[in-house]
Structure 1
Amino acid sequence: MKIQFLGAAGTVTGSKTLIESKGIRILIDCGLFQGNKEMRQHNWEPLPVLPSTIDFVLLTHGHLDHCGWLPLLVKQGFEGKIFCTSPTKAISRLILMDSAKIQEEEAEKANQEHYSKHIPAEPLYTVKQAEEVVPFFRVINVDTVFDLDAEISACYFSAGHILGACSIELTIEGKKLVFSGDIGRDNDDLMYAPEKPKTADYVFLESTYGDKLHPDNDPREELKQHINEAFEKGGNVVIPSFAVERAQAIMYLIWQLKKAGEIPDMPYIIDTPMGIKVIDIFEDNKEWHKLKLEDCREMCAIFSMITEYEDTIAAIYDDQPKVVIAASGMITGGRVLSYLERYIIRPETTVIIVGFQAEGTRGRKLLDGEKEIKMYGKYYPVAAKIVEIEGLSAHGDQDDLLNWLSQLDEKPKTVFLVHGETEALVALRDKIETRYDVNCEIPYQGQIVEIN
């Protein structure tokens, strides 16, 4: 059996792990690389194996860095099956359509304004190509073993994190390989705690926060403080947010604050069409989260929900204080850029960062104190107040990741650490080796590991 790390090796994006056994090829996740130009360039490169030779894709969840390369996989010849949970199918479809639409719009804008060196600039994939992925999805139930082949079976179990997110137990050549996917937090406001694996010969563990502990701060109190301060200055609050789970978690906290009378009466806007559609998925999948249906509807009632871009423009040019939640979470694209083009140059503006920011993204640059930010080929001076609320991440921290391994009945032969940056990977490796006395390895991009 061969395992090849085609993404999320030494970085947090582009998740792809290829397993080859007795002529069968299985891809765990099929995500986009995000971040700086060098990282994004990987998205244009072919896989080291022909997509037509891959038999199955097993998705852990529907975030772009785990499903966003599927249109290219299909375009380049994949004809197999894509297994996932029902919420993951719904979310992946939204994510892929949104990603394709943004890429088409940005290519068109680059061609109109001539800021791309590519003539013409082209999208990585189109909306039509994203739509062509959907027929390949096959929905499976959690905690149910299903066969991929006469000698290969798989089972999904809940990982928390977002709706539909799961870890995967793959039984192949008599060995159990467990892929964590992205692991949620044990004390999340909306999502249930992740389930822990009981047996594994080999573990492939995400390491996003492998070197960090989430603070004991109260995100609700921090959010209240920043909103009230911006209102008193007559400024706007812009919250770049991932459309899935994070946007809904922030909506939940704002609703709680508003209901308690702790933040002012002013417009509260959610401007992410995909995030709005995800609310419907929340309502359709009540068993996956803690939010009651009536609470979900009451929460939504306090927000102005923008879907049309004309309404986005109207909101941007309405200078009264407001709070806007807009995608994307790492400020790599989407409608949040339109708000920041107008507001980031104003000192009365507050930009609240609420999730992990990969290297090279605008979000990371803002957190690192960049004085200028480039959007659509132009540089904008950063005069806005940039703050971070760390307690809102949907990823487990170092303690959560260590605890996730705590119920294994026997030590695995190896734990492979993926989906993390160097410092996080090294710190988590040291902690795992110390606590569990188990072999722990950090694979590099493209590395092939043989399992006998």
Structure 2
Amino acid sequence: MKIQFLGGAGTVTGSKTLVEHNELRILIDCGMFQGLKALRELNWEPLAVDASSIDFVLLTHGHLDHCGWLPRLVKEGFLGKIFCTSPTKQIAKLILLDSAKIQEEEASKANQEHYSKHEPAEPLYTVAEAENVIPFFRAVEKDIEIELTGNCYFKFFQAGHIIGACSISLHIDGKELVFSGDVGQDDDVLMYPPEKPTTADYVFLESTYGNRIHPTNDVLFDLELIINQTIDRGGNVIIPSFAVERAQTLMFLLWQLKKQNRIPDIPYIIDTPMGIKVLDVFNDNHQWHKLAPHECEEMCRMFSMITDFEDSISAIYDKKPKVVIAASGMITGGRVLSYLERYIDKPENTVMLVGYQAEGTRGRKLLEGAKEIKFYGKYYPVEAQVTLVEGLSAHGDQNDLLSWLNKLGKKPAKIFLVHGENEAADALRLKITERYGYNCTVPLLGQAIEL
């Protein structure tokens, strides 16, 4: 058996792990690289193996860094099946179409304003190419064994993180390979706790927060303080947010604060068409999250939901203080850029970061104190307050990841730490070795390993 790490190694994006056994080829996730330019450029490279030779894709969840390269895979000739849970199919469809639309819009804008070095600028994939992926999806239930070939089967099991997210237990020729996908927090606001594997010969564990412990801060208090201080000085709170789960978590927390009269009666805006559509996925899949139907309905009534860009423009130029949740979470694109274009250079405003900011993203640069930020080919001075609210991550921290391993009855032959920057992955490697004595390694991007 051969494993090749085609993405998500040494970085938290571009997750792709290829499993080969005899003539069988299975790709675990097919994500887009984000962040550093050197990584983003990899999205334009052909896959290291012939896409038509891949039999199956097993998708852990619908975030862009796990499913965002599927249109390119299909374009390169993939003809197999993409297995995922039903909510993941819904989420992945939304994310792929949204990603394609944003890329088309940004390429068009770059061509109109001539700020791209490419002539003409082109999207990584089009909306039509994203739509071509949909017929390949096969939605299956979690906790049920699905046979792929005579000596190969898999099952999904609950991972927390976002709606529909699962880990994978893959059995090939008597060996069990467990892929964590992204592991959620045990006490997530909306998601149920992740299930832990009890057996595995090889484990592929994410390490996003492998060197971090989430703080025990009172998130509601932090949100209350930031919003009230900003509104008191006549400013706006702009919250770049991932459209899936993070936006819904923020909605829930702001709803709680409003019910307790802890934040003012001002406009609360959701300006992410995809995030709004994700609410439909929540309503369709109540067994996957903690919110009751009546809570979803009451929570949504608090917010003005913007889908048309004309309404975004009206909101941007409305001088009344407001709180806006807009995609994307790491400020790599999306409507949040239009708000920042207007608000980033005014000291009364606040940009509230609420999740992981990958290396090379605008979010990471703001977090590290950048004095100016570039988008749409221009630099904008950063005068707004930039603050990080911790404890809202959809990823488990070092303790959660260590705990995820604690029900393994037999020592695995090896643990591979993926989906983490090198420092985080190596810190987790040391902790796993110290606590469990497991053989643990951090693979390199592109590395191939024989099992």
TM-score (norm 2): 1.00
Match of 2:397 in 1: 397
Question: 1-side partners of 2:390 and 2:425: how far apart?
Answer: 19
Match of 1:412 in 2: 412
Deviation at 1:39, TM superposition (A): 1.1
Match of 1:423 in 2: 423
Does residue 215 of structure 1 match 2:215?
A: yes
Match of 1:184 in 2: 184
Q: Work out the percentage of aligned pairs sharing the same amino acid.
A: 69
The code of the aligned residue for 2:234 comes to: G
**Structure-to-structure mapping, 1:46-445, within 5 angstroms:** 46-445=46-445
The code of the aligned residue for 1:312 comes to: S
Query: What are the superposed Cα offsets for residues 107-148 of structure 1, whole Å, 9 maximum, x if unpaired?
Result: 000000000000000000000000000000001110000101
Question: 1-side partners of 2:298 and 2:155: how far apart?
Answer: 36
Deviation at 1:450, TM superposition (A): 0.3
Question: 1-side partners of 2:305 and 2:449: how far apart?
Answer: 48
SS, match of residue 392 in structure 1:
coil
Deviation at 1:279, TM superposition (A): 0.3
Deviation at 1:173, TM superposition (A): 2.0
Match of 1:19 in 2: 19
Match of 1:10 in 2: 10
SS, match of residue 391 in structure 2:
helix
Question: 2-side partners of 1:441 and 1:186: how far apart?
Answer: 25
Question: 1-side partners of 2:15 and 2:329: how far apart?
Answer: 18
The code of the aligned residue for 2:373 comes to: I
The code of the aligned residue for 2:144 comes to: T
SS, match of residue 189 in structure 1:
coil
Deviation at 1:67, TM superposition (A): 0.2
Deviation at 1:267, TM superposition (A): 0.3
The code of the aligned residue for 2:335 comes to: R
Question: 2-side partners of 1:19 and 1:39: how far apart?
Answer: 22
Paired residues, what number? 451
Match of 2:35 in 1: 35
The code of the aligned residue for 2:153 comes to: S
Question: 1-side partners of 2:187 and 2:154: how far apart?
Answer: 28
SS, match of residue 244 in structure 2:
coil
Does residue 45 of structure 1 match 2:45?
A: yes
TM-score (norm 1): 1.00
Deviation at 1:340, TM superposition (A): 0.1
SS, match of residue 390 in structure 1:
coil
Deviation at 1:390, TM superposition (A): 1.1
The code of the aligned residue for 1:125 comes to: Y
The code of the aligned residue for 1:284 comes to: D
Query: What are the superposed Cα offsets for residues 28-68 of structure 1, whole Å, 9 maximum, x if unpaired?
Result: 00000000211100000011111000000000000000000
SS, match of residue 203 in structure 1:
strand
Question: 1-side partners of 2:260 and 2:196: how far apart?
Answer: 36
Deviation at 1:177, TM superposition (A): 0.1
Question: 2-side partners of 1:271 and 1:32: how far apart?
Answer: 23
- Name segments (4+ residues, structure 1) moved above 6 Å: none
Deviation at 1:369, TM superposition (A): 0.2
SS, match of residue 181 in structure 1:
coil
The code of the aligned residue for 1:72 comes to: R
Structure 2's unaligned 5+ residue stretches are: none
Deviation at 1:422, TM superposition (A): 1.3
Question: 2-side partners of 1:176 and 1:158: how far apart?
Answer: 17
Question: 1-side partners of 2:195 and 2:134: how far apart?
Answer: 28
The code of the aligned residue for 2:185 comes to: R
Deviation at 1:256, TM superposition (A): 0.3
SS, match of residue 249 in structure 1:
helix
Query: What are the superposed Cα offsets for residues 252-289 of structure 1, whole Å, 9 maximum, x if unpaired?
Result: 00000001100000000000000000001000000000
The code of the aligned residue for 2:270 comes to: I
Structure 1's unaligned 5+ residue stretches are: none
CA-based RMSD of the aligned residues comes to 0.4
The code of the aligned residue for 1:99 comes to: S
SS, match of residue 88 in structure 1:
helix
The code of the aligned residue for 1:80 comes to: G
Query: What are the superposed Cα offsets for residues 403-430 of structure 1, whole Å, 9 maximum, x if unpaired?
Result: 0000001110100000001110111000
SS, match of residue 296 in structure 1:
helix
Deviation at 1:300, TM superposition (A): 0.4
The code of the aligned residue for 1:340 comes to: L
Question: 2-side partners of 1:39 and 1:318: how far apart?
Answer: 38
Question: 1-side partners of 2:338 and 2:88: how far apart?
Answer: 29
Question: 1-side partners of 2:139 and 2:305: how far apart?
Answer: 30
The code of the aligned residue for 1:410 comes to: K
Question: 1-side partners of 2:319 and 2:122: how far apart?
Answer: 35
Question: 1-side partners of 2:48 and 2:324: how far apart?
Answer: 42
Deviation at 1:313, TM superposition (A): 0.3
SS, match of residue 255 in structure 1:
helix
